[in-house]
Chain A
Amino acid sequence: MEILRVTNVKKSFDGEPIIKGIRFAVQKNEVVALIGPSGSGKSTILRSLVHLETIDDGEIYIDGEYLVKNGIYNKPKEIRQIQRKLGMVFQHFNLFPHLTVKENLELAPKLAKLDSEEAISERCVQLLEKVGLQNRLDAYPSKLSGGQKQRVAIARALMMQPKLMLFDEPTSALDPELTGEVLTVMKDLAKEQMTMLVVTHEMAFAKEVADRVIFMDQGEIVEEGTPEELFENPKHERTKAFLKRY
């Protein structure tokens, strides 16, 4: 079953094409890694899915409903409903600094009346246990390490019970010794069959966890395949040149 379908998506910034007609899909329970050099448009794609960027043309379908069709966006109310199905984890965590860990997790589901307060609070504790931070319930983000912040951010996104989790370079802002704890959480999610689309520079992670890897360069998808195909036997020169650096 298809959770995400992106067709012929185009986007320019100030007349400069950033995304030049991209097409790909993500199946339920699949982990897809999106790799490529900086400026290749990976993050822009991810941000377009959650409507932080507006695309110029193309189609985006999420769980069978369209966000954009032929370059025309759905109604705002529909868009908000569709967005509920996506969880997003940012490179810079974007935790709310004036709220405790618990409040960070509970605010959005409570505002959306996703569930009863008790159920939300219960899920909050469960998710923090899952990311190994059950003892930091009442801490403010300023008291957490980068890795802990990102794990809280993952738990916060999971609170909305998304069907697809998007990760925008989740470990790029972390010190090398802190990336492991975040990647472990992501691996656990993958094991639990969470559908994930991950923009990453962690090739080892992509190799180990992803079902499929998409290589982007200069706003286009150059090549895609299983990690074995793409890492062991890349077909395109651009892919080879990029992978050589890792």
Chain B
Amino acid sequence: MSLEYILKISGPMLEGAKVTLLTFFIVIIISIPLGLFITLAGRSRFRPIVWFIKGYIYVMRGTPLLLQLLVLCFGLPMIPVIGQYLVLDRFLAAVIGFVLNYAAYFAEIFRGGLLAIDKGQYEAAQVLGMNRWQRMTRIILPQMFRVTLPSVTNETITLVKDTALLYAVAVPELLHYAQTAVNRDFTIVPFFIAGLMYLMITLVLTFFLKRIEMKVKFE
């Protein structure tokens, strides 16, 4: 197994890793704020919103992400009448699927984080004359982020690996190129290289998130 071979197949695999990373960043940047928004909307006094959000989270957590991706990429166009308008670019459709799924998980994580905050925090802020917006942005949310950071970290790393599901909807990413090389060259090496690339990504991510965690210890 020559170094030359490794370098040769690493080229396309790095191209694939770009897609993996692009997907990861788009999804994380949209789904975390969206998850927060869903959590806050879920506290609305308007019951239909709450029911809708509960149903949405139930579906997202209760069905396989792979099924959701297949529906968005290949299922929607098959719906009678409106299906013809729902033919999305596969990458876009897959990203929407990831965002909807991960936002639901983040929403549940944040909901748990809010439950962990002592009632006295709201009370102290209110008694000090802060309005609802100030209480939320200055007192409650910063503490919620701290409480949920380990779970968010966990979920973020899971997302890196879940991007491999793009393979199933035929969006060429890291795993796709590895699999192609394995089939073509009849060697296991590309799989190892793919594994190493995932490990590199998660290593950098873990390091980065750990640093944030250390920063917000408040000690």
Q: CB within 8 Å of B: which residues of A?
A: 50-52, 80, 83-84, 86-88, 90, 92, 94-99, 107-108, 111-112, 140, 142-143, 156-157, 160
Give CA–CA (A200, B78) in the complex, Å. Answer: 71
Whether the pair B127, A52 counts as a contact (CB closer than 8 A) is: yes
How far does the Cβ of B146 sit from chain A's closest Cβ, in whole Å? 6
Whether the pair B143, A97 counts as a contact (CB closer than 8 A) is: yes
Whether the pair A94, B130 counts as a contact (CB closer than 8 A) is: no
A142-B128 contact given A92-B120, A94-B118, A94-B121, CB 8 Å threshold: no
Whether the pair A160, B128 counts as a contact (CB closer than 8 A) is: yes
In the complex, B129 has a CB within 8 A of chain A: yes
A90-B123 contact given A97-B143, A111-B134, A140-B219, CB 8 Å threshold: yes
Whether the pair B120, A90 counts as a contact (CB closer than 8 A) is: yes
Give CA–CA (A99, B130) in the complex, Å. Answer: 15
For residue A50, which residue of chain B has the nearest CB? B127
Whether the pair A80, B129 counts as a contact (CB closer than 8 A) is: yes
17 A-B pairs whose Cβ atoms sit less than 8 Å apart in the complex: A52-B123, A83-B129, A86-B127, A87-B127, A90-B123, A92-B118, A94-B118, A95-B124, A96-B125, A98-B143, A98-B218, A107-B128, A107-B138, A108-B129, A140-B218, A142-B219, A143-B219
A97-B218 contact given A52-B123, A111-B134, CB 8 Å threshold: yes
Query: Which residues of A have CB within 8 Å of B216?
Result: 98
In the complex, B126 has a CB within 8 A of chain A: yes
A108-B218 contact given A92-B120, A94-B121, A96-B139, CB 8 Å threshold: no
In the complex, B83 has a CB within 8 A of chain A: no
Query: Which residues of B have CB within 8 Å of A160?
Result: 128-129
Give CA–CA (A98, B121) in the complex, Å. Answer: 11
Query: Which residues of A have CB within 8 Å of B131?
Result: 80
A52-B143 contact given A107-B138, A111-B134, A142-B219, CB 8 Å threshold: no
Q: CB within 8 Å of A: which residues of B?
A: 118, 120-121, 123-131, 134, 138-139, 142-143, 146, 216, 218-219
Give CA–CA (A108, B128) in the complex, Å. Answer: 6
Q: Which 8 A-B pairs have the closest CB atoms?
A: A108-B128, A94-B124, A94-B120, A88-B127, A140-B218, A98-B142, A50-B127, A98-B218
Whether the pair B129, A96 counts as a contact (CB closer than 8 A) is: no
For residue B145, which residue of chain A has the nearest CB? A98
Give CA–CA (A108, B158) in the complex, Å. Answer: 39
Give CA–CA (A88, B123) in the complex, Å. Answer: 10
Give CA–CA (A122, B216) in the complex, Å. Answer: 27
Among B126, B129, B143, find the residue whose CB has the most chain A CB atoms closer than 10 A.
B129
Whether the pair B218, A142 counts as a contact (CB closer than 8 A) is: yes
Query: Which residues of A have CB within 8 Å of B121?
Result: 94, 96
Among A111, A142, A160, find the residue whose CB has the most chain B CB atoms closer than 10 A.
A111
Whether the pair A111, B138 counts as a contact (CB closer than 8 A) is: yes
Whether the pair B219, A94 counts as a contact (CB closer than 8 A) is: no
Query: Which residues of B have CB within 8 Å of A88?
Result: 124, 127
Query: Which residues of B have CB within 8 Å of A95?
Result: 124
Give CA–CA (A80, B127) in the complex, Å. Answer: 9
How far does the Cβ of A122 sit from chain B's closest Cβ, in whole Å? 19
Query: Which residues of B have CB within 8 Å of A86?
Result: 127
Give CA–CA (A94, B128) in the complex, Å. Answer: 11
Query: Which residues of B have CB within 8 Å of A94?
Result: 118, 120-121, 123-124
For residue A47, which residue of chain B has the nearest CB? B123
Give CA–CA (A167, B125) in the complex, Å. Answer: 16
For residue A52, which residue of chain B has the nearest CB? B123
- The residue that A156 contacts in the complex, of B128, B138, B139, with Cβ under 8 A, is B128
Query: Which residues of A have CB within 8 Å of B127?
Result: 50, 52, 83, 86-88, 157
Give CA–CA (A107, B121) in the complex, Å. Answer: 14
Query: Which residues of B have CB within 8 Å of A50?
Result: 126-127
